Amino acid sequence: MKTNFSLSGIPDFSSFDIQKRDYVLSIIKKHFIAFGFSPISTALIEKRSNLFGSYGEDGEKLIFQILKSGDYLSKTNCDLKKITSNELSENISDKALRYDLTVSFARFFSQNQSDINLPFRRYEIGPVFRADRPQKGRLRQFTQCDADIIGSKSLLLEVDLISLIDSVLTSLKLNNMVIKISNRKILEGIFQSLSINLNFSQFSTTIDKLDKIGLNKVCDLLSSHGLPVSQVKLIKNIFSFEGTYQDKKTYVLSNFNNKNLKLGFDEISFIFSQIDALKLKTHINLDFSLARGLDYYTGSIFEVVSSDNNFGSICGGGRYDQLTEKFNINNISGVGMSFGLDRLCILLDEFNLFPNKIAFSLDYMFINFGEETVSLSQYYMQKLRMLGASVEIYPEAVKINKQLSYANKRGVKFVIMIGEEEAKKQQLSVKNMIDGSQELISFETLIKKMEFGEKKN
C-alpha cells in the first residue's frame, strides 16, 4: 500500500498552480492599490488568548493550537488524572495558528497605533488555518486576500468595499455572481423581538446554518430552544420571503417594532442608494438570512456567491465596532472584506477563465559533452544569464539523445552544443527546439539574435 505523506486539505502548489494563483493575485492587488490600500503582513502564529473569544463556539473548535516547547508538563500544576482535553489544551498550549487575518490586523493596529494615520486602509494576503473537515472548496490551509478600513463609522466605507469587490469580479470576468448584503442589526432586532432561550451569538450561528441544513431544520432547532410556534412561523415567512428590497423591508418592519431593526434598514438603504448610482456589474441582493459565522461583526455584513455553484462564498466581510477592544483600544470602527483565493481559482478553472496557459520554459540548455568543454559552456552560461536569459546545463555527460529528450520535456527554446569541434572553431551549435533548425554561429552572433532588449538589467 502506498503511504500517504501529506495532510488532506493542506495543499501543495505546482509551478502551473502558482501561475494561475499569481494571475488572480495580480488582479486583486491592482484593485486593492487603486482603492488606496497599503500592504501589511502579520505573524502566522498568534498568542492563543488573542484568538479565543473572537470566532464563536463553533469557530473556536477549528483553531489549530500549538504545543508549548520543552518539558511543558513539568511547568503545569493541573491534575492529569481528571482533566478534559480542553482544560489540558489551555495548560500546554499558549500559541495558535491564525484563523483569519482580521484579528491579527486588530492586534497589529493596537501595537502600531502611533504610526498610523486614520482612517487606515490596509490589505493583507496570506494563509490562514482552520481545523475543518476538508472537502471541495474547504481547505485546512487556505489563502485570504483582505482589505479593511478602520477609523470611521461612515457607510461610504461599505460602499467602497462593495465597489472594490465588483471591480475585482469584473476584471476576473466572473459573471453570475451575487453580492448578498444584510446587517447584523436587523438580525439583532429580530432576535430581540423573539422569546427564545439562546444568546445572540447562538441564534446567529443557528441562522448561519440555513445554507447547509435548510430552513425547516433551522426552524426545528429554534423550536427546540423554546421559540413559540407563532414566532417560528414568522421566522419561516421572513426567511423565505421573495421580493424587492422595499417589499422585504416593509414586510419585516410591519411585523416587528424594534429600534435596532430600523437602524439596520436605514444603513442598508443608504448603501443601496449610493451603490445604485455606481451602476456596478455584479448583482446585489438583500438577504437577511445572511448571518456570517464570525462573532465580531456588528453592522453591515456581506458575502459573495456564485449563482452557478454551491461550494460556499468566495468573499465575505462586514462592519465591526469592538474588534480592537480585546487589544485595549476602544471606539475604533472598521469594515473589511476577504476574498478566498483558493475558491476563486476553483471557479475560474470551472468557467475556463484563466488566460491561455503559458508553459514554463527555459531559454537555453547547454548539452554536456564532458569535462573538457564544460568550463567553456559555463563561461557562456554566465554571460547569457547576465543578459537576463534563463539557462541551465545538463548536469551529466550522458548520451546526447537523453539530454535532448530532457530538453524537449522541459520546454527548452534553444539547445546549445559546444563539443570539441565547436570549441576549436570558437563557435556554438544552436538548435532551435521549436522548428528543429540548427546553425553554427559565434557567441556574438547569438547575442545579436537574442531578443532580450526588455530583459537587460
Footprint (CB under 8 A) of its own copies, residues 333-362: 360, 362
What strand order describes the sheet that includes 391-393?
391-393, 362-366, 412-417, 428-432, 438-441
413 binds its own copies (CB under 8 A): no
88 binds its own copies (CB under 8 A): yes
Q: Which of 53, 57, 67, 331 binds its own copies (CB under 8 A)?
A: 67
215 binds its own copies (CB under 8 A): no
331 binds its own copies (CB under 8 A): no
Torsion of CA 312, 316, 319, 321, to 10 degrees: 80
Q: Which of 54, 102, 167, 306 binds its own copies (CB under 8 A)?
A: 167
Give the nearest distance from C-beta 209 to its own copies in angstroms. 20
Give the nearest distance from C-beta 165 to its own copies in angstroms. 13
Give the nearest distance from C-beta 313 to its own copies in angstroms. 23
Compute how many residues bind its own copies; rule: CB under 8 A. Answer: 109
CA distance 294 to 422: 69
CA distance 400 to 408: 12
Q: Scanning the structure block, which residue is given the C-alpha cell 470611521? A: 152
Nearer to its own copies, 262 or 410 (CB): 410
Indicate the DSSP class of residue 101: S
Letters for 256-285 (x = contact with its own copies by CB under 8 A, - = none) are ------------------x--xx-------
Q: Which of 351, 410, 441, 445 binds its own copies (CB under 8 A)?
A: 410
Nearer to its own copies, 89 or 298 (CB): 89
Q: Which of residues 46-65 bind its own copies (CB under 8 A)?
A: 46-47, 50, 61-62, 64-65
396 binds its own copies (CB under 8 A): yes
Q: What are phi and psi of 120, to 5 degrees?
A: -115, 125
Give the nearest distance from C-beta 296 to its own copies in angstroms. 16
Nearer to its own copies, 18 or 440 (CB): 18
User: Hey, what amino acid is at 156?
Assistant: L
Q: Which of residues 121-150 bind its own copies (CB under 8 A)?
A: 121-122, 127, 129, 131, 140-141, 149
DSSP for 209-225 reads: THHHH-HHHHHHHHHHT
Give the nearest distance from C-beta 110 to its own copies in angstroms. 6
71 binds its own copies (CB under 8 A): yes
Of 221-229, 295-303, 371-379, 440-448, the window that binds its own copies (rule: CB under 8 A) is 371-379
Tell me if residue 140 falls in helix, strand or coil.
Answer: coil
Give the nearest distance from C-beta 277 to its own copies in angstroms. 5
Q: Which of 26, 136, 156, 331 binds its own copies (CB under 8 A)?
A: 156
Nearer to its own copies, 159 or 207 (CB): 159
DSSP for 308-361 reads: T--S--SEEEEEESSGGGGGT--S--EEEEEEEHHHHHHHHHHTT-SPPP----
Which cell numbers in the block locate residue 238? 421572513
Indicate the DSSP class of residue 380: H
Tell me if residue 148 falls in helix, strand or coil.
Answer: strand
Q: Is the distance from CB of 160 to CB of 31 less than 8 angstroms?
A: no
243 binds its own copies (CB under 8 A): no
Nearer to its own copies, 153 or 217 (CB): 153
115 binds its own copies (CB under 8 A): yes
Closest CA to 160 of 187, 123, 106, 186: 123
User: Hey, what amino acid is at 27?
Assistant: I
Q: 10 Å Cβ neighbour count for 380?
A: 19
Q: Which of residues 10-49 bind its own copies (CB under 8 A)?
A: 10-15, 17-18, 30-31, 33-36, 38-47
312 binds its own copies (CB under 8 A): no
Residue 44 Cα distances to 130, 244, 287, 307, 386, angstroms? 13, 43, 33, 33, 36
Give the nearest distance from C-beta 35 to its own copies in angstroms. 7
Q: Which of 212, 357, 399, 409 binds its own copies (CB under 8 A)?
A: 409
CA distance 34 to 37: 8
- 412-415 contact pairs (CB < 8 A, 24+): 412/361, 412/362, 412/363, 412/364, 412/365, 413/361, 413/362, 413/363, 413/364, 414/363, 414/364, 414/365, 415/364, 415/365, 415/366, 415/367
